[in-house]
Amino acid sequence: FFLAVAVGRAQVQQEPSAETTGGTAITINCSHPNVQGNTNIQWYRQLSDQAPHHIVTGFSGIKAVQDPPGRLSVAADRRSSSLWLARPRRGDAAVYYCAVG
């Protein structure tokens, strides 16, 4: 199945798309080189015909993600982050957004 990722505002950059087969882990990367101060990194996902839904907020280090199961990793310099999905299923096919703020 297909997992889509979308380019956010100019403050962040993402891959245009990524795909995996069901049950195979996938990493979605995001670059946010201008992140400043105490700004958090937010990740959202938008399932078909639904509004974006917040899935995790991070500041630094690694944080578990409950739904979909996985983890968020924020680089030490906070200029990039990655969302790792452990066992994505067909129902996890969506547009995944990262944002700063």
Pair of tokens at residue 57? 């907020």
Look up the CATH architecture of domain 22-100: Sandwich (2.60)
Q: pTM (2 decimals)?
A: 0.82
Residues 6+ apart with CB under 8 A from 40: 57, 58, 59, 100, 101
Give the span between the Cα atoms of 47 and 68, in whole angstroms: 12
Q: What is the pLDDT at residue 15?
A: 67
pLDDT in tens, the chain (101 residues): 445 444 444 467 776 677 777 778 999 999 988 888 888 999 999 998 899 999 999 999 999 999 999 999 999 999 999 999 999 888 888 989 888 87
Give the span between the Cα atoms of 55 and 99, in whole angstroms: 12
Q: At 20, which helix (H) or strand (E)?
A: none
* Spans of all domains in the chain: 22-100
Q: What is the pLDDT at residue 60?
A: 93
Give the span between the Cα atoms of 66 and 77, in whole angstroms: 25
